[in-house]
Structure 1
Amino acid sequence: MDRDEGTTTSGTRGLGPVLTVPNLISFTRLLGVPLFLYLFLATDATGWAVVVLVVGGLSDWVDGFAARRLKQVSRLGELLDPLADRLYILATLFALTFKDVVPWWFTIALLAREAVMILCLVVLRVLGHGPPPVHYVGKTATAVLLMGFPMMLLARFSDAARPWALPSGWALLWWGIVLYWVAAVFYFIQASIHIRASRLAS
């Protein structure tokens, strides 16, 4: 799940091998994003859209597990993994908001968190630092959100599933967004400590 353990923050290391098993899994996950948007927004295949979301969420840990098990950890993989996570969340969020499955206030709360993260990364880059390692709280939040979105879809488009899918979906989304913001605070603290340590060392 988390392939950023033990990485440096200087951002100077090469991308490493490209055609590895974990990287191919990450590329496949990325292809699932436009596939989901097509199925959900351009067709009536909502059931298949839910399947794509579920597979994308469940496979979140597979690429990291494969990287460690096969000893194929690479800088490219460390970049692809969080990129796929963010694209899945943002694409799903916009699609579900557009279809009135998720309210706008939830979308704004999640996008505000992303804005904070982008600002932190920009500040780090300006100061000559790479991004801090991915925290397990952030990975957990991502996994919970990617479970909550399919539940909300089921609740909206399946009368039989609505009685249990709607409360389950909202419980997961609330849990996910709280953890998402907690992870942002952790990232901010990590970045501050790293910047302070670099200044003291210089």
Structure 2
Amino acid sequence: MSETSAEDRIWTVPNLLSFLRLLGVPVFFWLVLGPKADGWAIGVLAVAGFTDWLDGKIARAFNQTSRLGRLIDPAADKLYVFATVIALLLREVIPWWLVVIVLGRDLFVGCFGPVLRKYGYRALQVHFLGKAAMFNLMYAFPLLFLASHSGWYAEIARIVGWAFALWGAGLYWWAGVLYVVQVRQLVAEARRG
């Protein structure tokens, strides 16, 4: 019998953290739109952000990277961004144009997925710029959510939240453009080969 390669592992601590993060997406959505339990919703976002950082640290430190992890980690990030922007739009915390900028980038990049598969490639490695963009957005949304409440912290949260949101959206698009450039280079190499 052959041993399962390290890349094919499923049951690792980083993958467990990513699965837990995935389970938090509907919980967050329900908390924001159902009972409007904003404190709990912000807590879910904070835990999601922390576990996103932690699963990557553990994966690298203990050699627990896997194919599954490279799929579910960014999927969880995307689902959190999607759920958060939709929930905050419906609660009138963020404007529609920010939602268009963030989700439009995902649609733009998603159009190149079939091109990659046509040439035998799977999803590309997540770029550092994409991680930086996601970091900014994962901090922006809870801060903007806090800014929608009254309290001494609201104005500070609004200023810092918008700084993270605008910087994150810019980096998100920049990472998307780099992704498309990378796809074009891979396709050109495949055609030459």
Which fold has the larger relative contact order, with Cα–Cα distance below 8 Å and residues 6 or more apart in sequence?
A: 1
CA displacement at 1:14 relative to structure 2 = 9.9
Question: Matches of 1:34 and 1:180 in 2, distance apart?
Answer: 24
SS at match of 2:148: helix
Question: Matches of 2:179 and 2:185 in 1, distance apart?
Answer: 10
1:200 alignment partner in structure 2: 192
1:136 alignment partner in structure 2: 128
SS at match of 2:172: helix
Question: Matches of 2:60 and 2:6 in 1, distance apart?
Answer: 18
Aligned counterparts, 1:1-202, within 5 A? 16-201=8-193
Are 1:147 and 1:172, in contact at CA under 8 Å, matched by a contact in 2? yes
Amino acid at match of 2:157: A
SS at match of 2:30: helix
Structure 1 residue ranges (4+ consecutive) displaced by more than 2 angstroms after TM superposition = none
Are 1:101 and 1:153, in contact at CA under 8 Å, matched by a contact in 2? yes
TM-score of the two chains, using structure 2 as the length reference? 0.93
Deviates more, 1:64-73 or 1:145-154: 64-73
CA displacement at 1:113 relative to structure 2 = 0.4
TM-score of the two chains, using structure 1 as the length reference? 0.89
Amino acid at match of 2:139: M
SS at match of 1:60: helix
What root-mean-square deviation, in Å, do the aligned CA atoms of Structure 1 and Structure 2 show?
Answer: 1.5
SS at match of 2:76: helix
Are 2:6 and 2:64, in contact at CA under 8 Å, matched by a contact in 1? no
Gaps of 5+ in 1: 1-12
Question: Matches of 1:143 and 1:57 in 2, distance apart?
Answer: 8
Deviation per residue, 1:96-117 (Å, 9 max, x gap): 0011101001111111101111
Deviation per residue, 1:126-169 (Å, 9 max, x gap): 33221221100001100100100000111102322112111111
Amino acid at match of 1:138: G
Question: Matches of 2:6 and 2:189 in 1, distance apart?
Answer: 24
**Aligned residues, how many?**
189
Question: Matches of 1:158 and 1:53 in 2, distance apart?
Answer: 20
Q: Identity of counterpart residues, as a percentage?
A: 43
Gaps of 5+ in 2: none
